[in-house]
Structure 1
Amino acid sequence: MAWKLWKTEKRHNEMRSWPSGTHESLKQLLDMYLGRDAAPFASWAAPGITFMPDIEPLARDGVRGYQLALWFWFFAEKHGTIVAKMVRESFCLLADTMQPSSGDKIDALLDLENRLAHSVEAISAEQRAFRQEGLSVELPMEFFLATGLLRLAPDSPYAGNEGASLQGNDYKLADCFRHATEEALAVFRPMIDAVDFDAKSLPNWRWSAHPGAAERHLQRRHNNPLFPLHRQMVTAHEVYEARLADAQALQDIRNELNEVSRSFSQTIELPLNWQSYLEGYRDHVDRLDERRLVAGGQSASLSDAIAKLRADILTTWRASIHKNRHSLATLEQEEAKRTERRTLLYGCDWTAQLLSHGSLIPPEEVVPALLSESPSELEKAVTGLQAEPRLHETLAQCCATAHRLVNELRAAGHNFPDIGDKLRILDGAPGQLPA
C-alpha cells in the first residue's frame, strides 16, 4: 500500500497471548473470521447502524473483508509483499479445508478490497473536498471505500448503475468502515507484532499465475514423475526463496534499465560515430529485454519501459538517416530479423531459460523440463531450436533422450497426458501439431 488508510493511534486493549508461528496465526485468524462471535469481525457494524435486507449481506461481507485485508496489509508492512502474498495463499487453502470452496471466495473478496483501497489512494485531497455554507469540508476516506464497495461489488444492487441513488447507505457504510477499522487495529496490531514468518511452517501454497523462472522450474518438478523422486518434492520454503530470486532478477533489470535510460536521455548531440553509438544502446536494451523474458513473472510495466526506451533510440536513429532511403530500408530489415529471432528463441519459457547464462534448468533436467511444457509451448521450443543451426544437435539430443526417458517410465507403469503428441512434435516438422 502506498499509504495507510487507517489511523495510527493505538487503542488500549486487554492483554492477550498471540501465537508466534505463521501457520498457527493463520489458523487463529481463520477461526476468528469464520466464527460468529469473534472480535474484530463480529463488530463490523457501527453502533446503531442497520441496513435493509438487500444491503446487509453486502455491507457485512465488504466490511469484514476489509478487516481481513487489514491483517494482510499489516503483515506485508512487517514482512514484505512477497511473504504476505504467500501467507494469503496459504490462508485461502486453509479455508478450503474448513469450508470447501470458501478459499476462492475469500481470495476474490480480498482482491476486491485491494482494488477499493487502490482506488481510494488515487483520490486527491481536492477531490475529497466540497464547500458547505462557505466552508471547505473534506470527506473521510471511509466514505469513498463505502461508495466504491456499493458501486463495484458484483452482488451490489447498485453495480453497473452509476446514476442510481445510494439512499444513504454510503454514509452508513462509511461509519461501519471507520468503526470496523478501529476494532481491527486493536486486535491485529498485537497479533501481527507477535507473529514471525517461517516459510517452512506453511503446509501449502498456490503457484503464481505468472511465475518467474525459478518458481516455474519448481512448478515443473513438483510431483512430476519425469523428474527423479527427490526432485519431485518441493517445499514452501523453496517456493518462497524462488519468488525472492525472481523478484530480485526483475529489480536488477529495472535498475540497469534506469541507468541506461538516464545515460541516453543526457545525450545532447550525437558523436561522430553515431551509428555504433546508437547500436550500442540498442543492443544493451535488447539484452535487457532478453533477460526480462528469461526472468519471467509479471513484467508488463518493465516491458513497456524497455519498449519506450528502444523506440526513443530508433527514433533518433531514423532521424539521422531519414534522407537515405537505402539506410532506412537496411535498418528496417535488420529490425524485422531481430524481432523474428527474438520470437523464435524467447517465445517459450523453456527455450529462453535454456539459452540464458546461468540457466536455472540443470543439464540433467533439460529434457524432463521440456516434456513438462504443454504441446503448444513444446512446438514453440522445437521451432526455435530448428531455426538455429547451432542448436540442431541440441534438438537431436533432446529427442533421443526424451524417447529413452519416456520408454523407461512407461516400463515402470507411468502414464502421461499428451506424451505421445509431445514425442511426435519432437520428431516432426515445426508448425504441425498432431491432429
Structure 2
Amino acid sequence: MDWRFWKAEKRHEEAETHNWPTETHESIRQLLGMYLGAGTPPFANWSAPGIVFAPNVEATARNSVKGYQLALWFWLFAGKHGAIAARMARETFCLLADAAQPASGDAIDALLDLESRLARSVESISAEQRTFSQEGQAVELPMEFFLATGALRFMPESPYAGDAGAPLQGNDYKLADCFRHATEEALVLFRPMIQAVEFDSKLLPNWKWSARPGAAERHLQRRHGNPLFPLHRQMVTAHDVHEARIADNQALLDIRNELNEVRHAFFEKPSLPLNWQSYLENFREQVDRLDERRLVAGGQNAPLGDAVGALRADILATWRAEIQKNRNSLAALDQDEARKAERRALLYGCDWTGQLLSHGSLIPAEEVVPALLSESPAELEKAVAGLQAEPRLHETLAHCRAAAHRLVGELRAAGHGFPDLTEKLYILDGKREVPQEDSPGPLPA
C-alpha cells in the first residue's frame, strides 16, 4: 500500500487492518523504508498544518521531530518486548541504515540517544515547574513545549545550540505543535505495527557490541571470530548476545537489590550496638563484596557504583565519628582503607582478572588463557600485576604463562600470526624488551 495517499479519516481503519510484519527484522526493514522514504507517513507528516520554519531552523525542526517519531517506535517496542530486545532492534535498524546510506547509522543512533535524554529530562519536570501565571490565570505548558525547547538548544545543527540565552523567536511554540502533531501521526501507525510484531533474537542477522559490555557479553566479544578459541566457540549469534545481555542485566539488578537490603539493615537501627566496630566492619565487608561483584559484572554500572560509594561513605562516616578523638585509630582506619583500595585496583582493575576470581568463574576453565591473550597489552599488564600481587594466584600465573606459550606455538605452527602475541608473551614472562611484531593483521577482541 502507498501510505502517501491515505485519506485522513481512514488512517485508523487502514492502520488497524493492514497486514503488518510479525517478524522483527522485517518490521525493522519496513520502519527503515518509512524513515528514509520520501513522502512516507508518519515521518513525512512531521510538521503540523500551517507551521513554517525559517530555512536556518527547518532542518533542526525536521530532524528532531522525525527522530522523536522514530524513538517512539522503539519505546513502544520496549514496552512490549523489553528494553534489551528494543536495544537489539535499534542496533539492527542502525546497521540496516548504514547499508542503505553509509555512515547514517551512527548519526541515527546519536539522534535516538538525544531524543531519549530529552524525554527523560522532560519527565523529571513537575507540574509546578510547567505552570506560569498569565493575566492572573495559571497556565500549564505541555510537555511538547519542553521537548521543543530542548531540541532547539541541544540539536548540534540548531542555530541556537551553545547559546542558552538566545531568544528562540517563537520557534519553541511552533516546534511544540509539530511534536504534538507528529506524535499523533506516528502512534496511528506504530501501535498496530508493534502489536503485530514478535521478537525472536534467533532471527536477527546482526548486532553491535556494547560500548561497555557486561561480563557475559564481553566474553562473547573475546570469542567472536577469534582463532585463539576453538572453531565452534568462535561462532556467536545475535541470540547469544541477547541472552548474554539479559544475564548481565540480571547480575546488576541482583546486586542493586542486595545493596538495598544492606542499606535498609544499616539505617534501621537508631543507635550502634556495644560491639560497634565489628558491626560496622561487617557492613563494610558486605558493601565491598557487592562492589567487587559490580566490577566483575561490568556494563553500564556507574549509577550502581555511586550508590555503593554513598552507602560505604555513610558507614565510614559513622565509624570515624566513633573514633574522632583517637588519632591512632583514625590513622589505622585510613591505612586499612588504602590497603583495600590498592588490592581492589590490582585484582579488579582488569576485566579478565575480576571475571576469573568471580564466584563460579564467568570464564570457562579451558578458555582462561585464550581470554587472557585476547585482552589488550595494557589490560594484560594489569592482569599480570594483579596475579603477581596475590600469592595464592602465583600458581595461576605460572600456568597461564606455560599454556599461553603452548597455545601461541600451536597457532604459529598452523600459520596464524597476530601483531600483539609476541608482546603479550613478553608481558606474561615479566620481560621488559620491546619485541618485534609477528605479522600483519589484528587479533580479534
Look up the SS of the partner of 2:227 in the other structure.
coil
Cα deviation digits, residues 376-427 of structure 1 (max 9, x gap): 1000000000111111111111011111111111121112131111111001
Q: Equivalent residue for 2:422?
A: 420
Look up the SS of the partner of 2:13 in the other structure.
coil
Cα deviation digits, residues 96-149 of structure 1 (max 9, x gap): 111111111111111111122122112221222222222111111111111111
The within-5 A match list for 1:276-355 is: 276-355=278-357
Q: Equivalent residue for 2:42?
A: 40
Q: What is the aligned counterpart of 1:165 among 163, 167, 170?
A: 167
Look up the SS of the partner of 1:55 in the other structure.
helix
Cα deviation digits, residues 65-111 of structure 1 (max 9, x gap): 11101000111111111111111011101111111111111111111
Q: What is the aligned counterpart of 1:50 among 25, 49, 52?
A: 52
Q: Equivalent residue for 2:96?
A: 94
Query: TM-score when scaled to structure 2?
Result: 0.92
Q: For residue 12 of structure 1, what is the amino acid of its counterpart?
A: H
Q: What is the aligned counterpart of 1:144 among 146, 171, 195?
A: 146
Q: Give the deviation of 1:433 after TM superposition.
A: 8.2
The within-5 A match list for 1:26-425 is: 26-425=28-427
Cα deviation digits, residues 299-356 of structure 1 (max 9, x gap): 1111111111112212222222233333222222222111111111111000000011
Q: For residue 179 of structure 2, what is the amino acid of its counterpart?
A: F
Q: Work out the CA distance in 2 between the residues paired with 1:433 and 1:286.
A: 38
Q: Give the deviation of 1:25 after TM superposition.
A: 0.4
Look up the SS of the partner of 2:303 in the other structure.
helix
Cα deviation digits, residues 218-256 of structure 1 (max 9, x gap): 000001110000000001111111111111111111111
Q: Work out the CA distance in 2 between the residues paired with 1:199 and 1:33.
A: 23
Identity over aligned pairs, percent: 74
Query: Measured at CA, do residues 323 and 172 of structure 1 come closer, stay the same or move farther in structure 2, by a change above 3 Å?
Result: closer
**Contact 1:33 1:41 survives alignment (8 Å):** yes
Gap regions ≥5 residues in structure 1: 1-10
Query: Measured at CA, do residues 203 and 324 of structure 1 come closer, stay the same or move farther in structure 2, by a change above 3 Å?
Result: same
Look up the SS of the partner of 2:180 in the other structure.
helix
Q: Give the deviation of 1:280 after TM superposition.
A: 1.1
Q: Equivalent residue for 2:12?
A: 12
325-334 or 92-101, larger mean C-alpha shift: 325-334
Q: Work out the CA distance in 2 between the residues paired with 1:301 and 1:141.
A: 26
376-385 or 173-182, larger mean C-alpha shift: 173-182
333-342 or 358-367, larger mean C-alpha shift: 333-342
Q: Give the deviation of 1:62 after TM superposition.
A: 1.2
Structure 1 segments, 4+ long, off by >3 Å, are 432-435
Query: TM-score when scaled to structure 1?
Result: 0.95
Could you say what the CA RMSD is over the residues aligned between the two structures, in angstroms? 1.5
**Contact 1:379 1:433 survives alignment (8 Å):** no
Gap regions ≥5 residues in structure 2: 1-10, 436-445
Q: Work out the CA distance in 2 between the residues paired with 1:177 and 1:377.
A: 46
Query: Measured at CA, do residues 162 and 270 of structure 1 come closer, stay the same or move farther in structure 2, by a change above 3 Å?
Result: closer
Q: Work out the CA distance in 1 between the residues paired with 2:386 and 2:434.
A: 18
Q: Work out the CA distance in 2 between the residues paired with 1:311 and 1:168.
A: 48
Look up the SS of the partner of 2:56 in the other structure.
coil
Q: Work out the CA distance in 2 between the residues paired with 1:346 and 1:139.
A: 49
Q: Work out the CA distance in 2 between the residues paired with 1:321 and 1:167.
A: 61
